[in-house]
Amino acid sequence: MSTRRLIEKAPEFSRAPASVQVISKIICCILPIAQIAIGAVYLHDCPRQPYIPIYLIVLGVFGVLLAGLPCLPCTQQPRDGPATSPTNPCMALNSLMSLFLFCWFIAGNVWIYSIYQPNYDKNTTSVDPYCDKTLYLFSFWTTTLVYILLGLSVPIAICACLCACTLVPTDPENI
């Protein structure tokens, strides 16, 4: 049983209608737009860790760009012909943006979790600088949400792989 034969026998998947694609892109952009807005509104409201609002803004901008990347002409598939893979420049751009976002996410983790439970009171006279509660909690929970989703997706992916391995026919004549 060769992998090539399995790929050739795989069913063709049709593309989703344009309206579904547009709605899914809008949904994928809601969190990044919220990150940009919260970061911009509270840009100077976290002297304890001034990189947190910048982290949110950059993460939001790159999130929107990454969501919009499939709309570029180099990633479009022909409507009447067979599906082709994206060209190398588009794949390189996607890879570079993903690598940057991964590194930026790690930096944001350091900035956010290193000041866990900051002083939220702007008017306090303590030595400890404050960080706006809305800004900090939004950045904390959006970062933590990534870990929650990752923790949920790994077992689901493992189960899917196990199911796929058990359902693949072992007899080459059945392929």
pLDDT given for residue 80 in this prediction: 58
Segments forming the whole domain that contains residue 125:
18-75+87-174
Does residue 7 belong to any structural domain of this protein? no
pLDDT at 3 > cutoff 80: no
User: How large a percentage of the chain has pLDDT more than 70?
Assistant: 78
pLDDT given for residue 47 in this prediction: 95
Most confident of 7-21, 38-52, 77-91: 38-52
DSSP β-bridge partners for residue 130: 119
Does residue 6 belong to any structural domain of this protein? no
Structural domains in the chain (count): 1
Of 38-42, 63-67, 166-170, which range is least confident? 166-170
Does residue 81 belong to any structural domain of this protein? no
pLDDT given for residue 4 in this prediction: 52
Does residue 32 belong to any structural domain of this protein? yes
Q: Which two tokens stand for residue 21?
A: 């694609």
Does residue 82 belong to any structural domain of this protein? no
90-134: pLDDT as tens digits: 888 888 999 999 999 999 999 999 999 999 998 887 788 999 999
95's CB contacts (< 8 A; 6+ apart) are none
Across 140-144, average pLDDT: 97
Whether 97 and 62 have beta carbons less than 8 Å apart is answered as: yes
Does residue 157 belong to any structural domain of this protein? yes
pLDDT at 2 > cutoff 60: no
Does residue 11 belong to any structural domain of this protein? no
pLDDT given for residue 81 in this prediction: 54
Does residue 55 belong to any structural domain of this protein? yes
